[in-house]
């Protein structure tokens, strides 16, 4: 403002006009007498603060209700919100609980450190308020919130009767293995998707999740639909009815079916699906499964994605699954194409001579195949693939492809089984966490040996495929000795997990031990 006046004055003087210069005067404070710029109260800031307390009438001590079971806070009248200590959500919750009047403007708010077990939360707030006919005063004050432990309704019901559930999610996949559920389990753990589950049961072809609230079940179904191609339906059953208050209590069941198409499956696409995907295939490989299915033609390196809705409209099954993979030995590899990046993965087309490992010493059958693994295969390597030369498949989609000449074999991935045999029995430098599940053995279909074998195969897939472990949390194995950290056997490199990918598995006992050591020092 003053600069604009000076500029106008100088311009007027240059034009030869007579101008009266304006200066900002000062007055004496009516209480302490120090010079100050005039304001409506004619008092300095220090005297204003001694006369007026703008924090008067504001809440500085409050009690907030906290559920220790699910770590939520009660937002009246009956909403429980989840917030971590010193998080933005907790800061917003505490500020809202103060109910600041509209005449007060908040400038800043921050947490003040308190003892973790004191059940106290302190905030330091800086506010502004207009006082004494237009004078604006700024002041800082502390607000303290005392946590009162009270269980929410859902946790109260669980404590009263652990089997009293309101919503159940039945997750199923009709395949003869559990590879998909091992992967989903790690995604659920990483994102805390089942943190509100009352109970988790491992069933024959899936997992059952039980929740104390319908909204928790709906939220869990939404999470599964974002990480896997699923279709779902819901049903409800009347449990009780109060005729006086017209209150109905239901139990809700969500049936979620996961697509039977899994990674590394060999698929023969139906004609209508081929047309929708730009005449892809018809023989393709499933390379990745998220909420959509990634399909790759191993002979042309063309790729397409099939979302869940389009799959369930014209659902189909795999021609061959990963349980039918056959071991081959690579005799010769001739690169025929450049390196291509498809969907974030590297592929190179090549012509290869392979023979089944089971044929060695029995016959001289050699197969000339085209493969997309030219970048990792070399003569002498072993590979896993599908034996179409001896396969007998009753597939209606394959019968519709008239004039199709099937290759004698389709290689899927490089095999490290021979190298792993020399390193068998040694522990890994990493480990995974698992859900607290109860195994259903009522039907007698649970086979612990089969589950252990499939889990070991899942761990090997994680070691061999960095893209697969991208969304999974791997933890350091404390029992692993540093001297065993080499992943080389007789000069041959084995797929392994880099140490920088591992997380520290921190538990309460370790924290207490570290605190005791610090106090003793």
Report how far residue 36's alpha carbon sits from residue 33's, in angstroms, rounded to the nearest whole number: 9
Closest CA to 333 of 258, 414, 397: 414
The tokens of 64 are what? 């907030």
Report how far residue 435's alpha carbon sits from residue 178's, in angstroms, rounded to the nearest whole number: 14
Closest CA to 125 of 50, 54, 49, 51: 54
pTM: 0.70
Q: Is the separation of the CB atoms in 102 and 130 below 8 Å?
A: no
- The region, left, alpha or beta by phi > 0 then psi within -120 to 50, assigned to residue 262 is beta
Neighbouring residues of 18: CB distance < 8 A, sequence distance ≥ 6: none
Cα distances (Å, whole numbers) of residue 220 to 170, 216, 307: 11, 6, 20
Q: Which residues pair with 367 in a beta bridge?
A: 354
- The region, left, alpha or beta by phi > 0 then psi within -120 to 50, assigned to residue 444 is left
Q: Is the separation of the CB atoms in 440 and 512 below 8 Å?
A: no
The tens-digit pLDDT sequence of the chain (521 residues) is 455 555 665 655 555 555 556 666 788 887 787 887 777 667 777 777 777 778 888 888 999 999 888 788 998 888 888 888 888 889 999 989 888 888 888 889 999 998 878 889 999 999 888 776 667 778 888 999 999 998 887 777 777 666 678 899 999 999 988 999 999 999 999 998 998 888 899 988 899 999 988 889 999 999 999 999 999 999 999 888 888 888 888 899 999 999 999 999 999 999 899 889 988 878 999 999 999 999 999 999 999 999 999 999 988 989 898 888 999 999 999 999 888 888 788 899 999 999 998 887 788 888 999 999 998 999 988 999 999 888 777 777 777 777 788 888 999 999 887 777 656 667 778 888 999 888 877 766 778 888 888 998 898 888 888 888 888 888 888 777 655 444 444 445 677 777 777 776 555 444 444 444 444 44
Report how far residue 122's alpha carbon sits from residue 145's, in angstroms, rounded to the nearest whole number: 6
Q: What is residue 373's DSSP assignment?
A: B
Question: For the segment 380-396, what is each residue's pLDDT rounded down to a tens digit?
Answer: 889 999 998 887 777 77
Backbone φ and ψ of 327, nearest 5°? -85, 135
Pairing type for strands 382-387 and 326-342 reads antiparallel
Q: Is the separation of the CB atoms in 139 and 54 below 8 Å?
A: yes
Q: What is residue 418's DSSP assignment?
A: H
Task: Match 């029992």 to its residue by tokens.
Answer: 479
Q: What is the pLDDT of residue 255?
A: 95
Question: For the segment 36-47, what is each residue's pLDDT rounded down to a tens digit?
Answer: 777 766 777 777
Neighbouring residues of 127: CB distance < 8 A, sequence distance ≥ 6: 54, 55, 100, 104, 105, 106, 107, 138, 139, 140, 141
Question: For the segment 461-480, what is each residue's pLDDT rounded down to a tens digit?
Answer: 888 888 888 888 888 887 77
Neighbouring residues of 426: CB distance < 8 A, sequence distance ≥ 6: 484
Closest CA to 258 of 294, 302, 311: 311
Q: Is the separation of the CB atoms in 440 and 199 below 8 Å?
A: no
CA 204, 205, 207, 210 torsion-angle sign: negative
Task: Match 């059952």 to its residue by tokens.
Answer: 208
Backbone φ and ψ of 2, nearest 5°? -65, -40
Q: Is the separation of the CB atoms in 202 and 184 below 8 Å?
A: no
3-state secondary structure of 292: strand
Q: Is the separation of the CB atoms in 439 and 202 below 8 Å?
A: yes
Alpha helices in 102-249 (DSSP H): 153-160, 179-191, 214-227
Q: Is the separation of the CB atoms in 462 and 456 below 8 Å?
A: no
Report how far residue 229's alpha carbon sits from residue 394's, in angstroms, rounded to the nearest whole number: 25
- The region, left, alpha or beta by phi > 0 then psi within -120 to 50, assigned to residue 217 is alpha
- The region, left, alpha or beta by phi > 0 then psi within -120 to 50, assigned to residue 503 is beta
Q: What is residue 76's DSSP assignment?
A: T
Report how far residue 97's alpha carbon sits from residue 91's, in angstroms, rounded to the nearest whole number: 10
Report how far residue 183's alpha carbon sits from residue 185's, in angstroms, rounded to the nearest whole number: 5
């Amino acid at each position: 403002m003053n600069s604009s006046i000076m500029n106008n004055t100088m311009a007027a003087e240059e034009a030869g006009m007579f101008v009266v210069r304006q200066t900002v005067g000062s007055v004496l404070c009516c209480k302490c007498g120090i010079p100050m710029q005039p304001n409506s109260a004619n008092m300095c800031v220090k005297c204003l603060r001694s006369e007026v307390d703008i924090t008067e009438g504001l809440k500085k001590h409050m009690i907030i209700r906290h559920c220790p079971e699910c770590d939520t806070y009660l937002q009246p009248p009956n909403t429980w919100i989840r917030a971590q200590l010193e998080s933005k959500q907790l800061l917003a919750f505490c500020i809202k609980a103060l109910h600041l009047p509209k005449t007060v403007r908040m400038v800043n708010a921050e947490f003040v450190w308190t003892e973790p077990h004191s059940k106290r939360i302190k905030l330091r707030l800086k506010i502004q308020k207009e006082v004494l006919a237009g004078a604006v005063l700024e002041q800082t004050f502390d607000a303290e919130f005392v946590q009162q432990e009270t269980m929410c309704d859902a946790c109260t019901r669980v404590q009263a009767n652990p089997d009293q559930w309101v919503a159940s999610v039945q997750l199923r996949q009709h395949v003869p293995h559990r590879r998909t559920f091992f992967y989903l389990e790690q995604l659920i753990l990483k994102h805390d998707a089942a943190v509100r589950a009352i109970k988790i049961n491992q069933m024959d072809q899936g997992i059952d999740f039980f929740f104390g609230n319908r909204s928790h079940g709906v939220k869990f179904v939404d999470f599964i639909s974002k990480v896997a191609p699923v279709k779902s339906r819901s049903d409800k059953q009347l449990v009780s009815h109060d005729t006086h208050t017209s209150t109905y209590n239901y139990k809700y069941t969500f049936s979620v079916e996961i697509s039977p198409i899994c990674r590394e499956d060999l698929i023969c696409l139906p004609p209508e699906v081929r047309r929708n995907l730009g005449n892809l295939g018809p023989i393709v490989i499933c390379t990745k499964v998220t909420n959509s299915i990634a399909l790759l033609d191993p002979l042309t390196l063309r790729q397409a994605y099939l979302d869940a809705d389009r799959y369930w409209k014209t659902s189909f099954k795999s021609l061959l699954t990963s349980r039918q993979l056959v071991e081959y030995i690579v005799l010769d590899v001739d690169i025929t194409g450049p390196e291509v990046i498809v969907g974030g993965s590297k592929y190179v087309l090549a012509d290869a001579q392979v023979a089944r490992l089971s044929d060695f010493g029995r016959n001289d059958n050699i197969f000339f195949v085209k493969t997309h693994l030219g970048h990792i295969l070399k003569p002498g390597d072993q590979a896993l693939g599908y034996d179409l030369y001896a396969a007998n498949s009753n597939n209606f989609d394959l019968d519709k492809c008239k004039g199709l000449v099937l290759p004698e074999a389709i290689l899927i991935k490089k095999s490290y089984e021979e190298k792993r045999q020399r390193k068998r029995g040694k522990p890994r430098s990493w480990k995974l966490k698992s859900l607290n599940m109860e195994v259903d053995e009522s039907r007698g279909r649970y086979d612990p040996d089969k589950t252990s074998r499939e889990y070991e195969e899942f761990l090997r897939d994680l070691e061999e495929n960095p893209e697969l472990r991208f969304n999974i949390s791997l933890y350091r194995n404390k029992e692993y000795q540093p001297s065993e950290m080499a992943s080389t056997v007789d000069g041959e490199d084995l797929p392994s997990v880099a140490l920088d990918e591992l997380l520290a598995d921190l538990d309460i006992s370790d924290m207490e031990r570290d605190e005791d050591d610090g106090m003793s020092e």
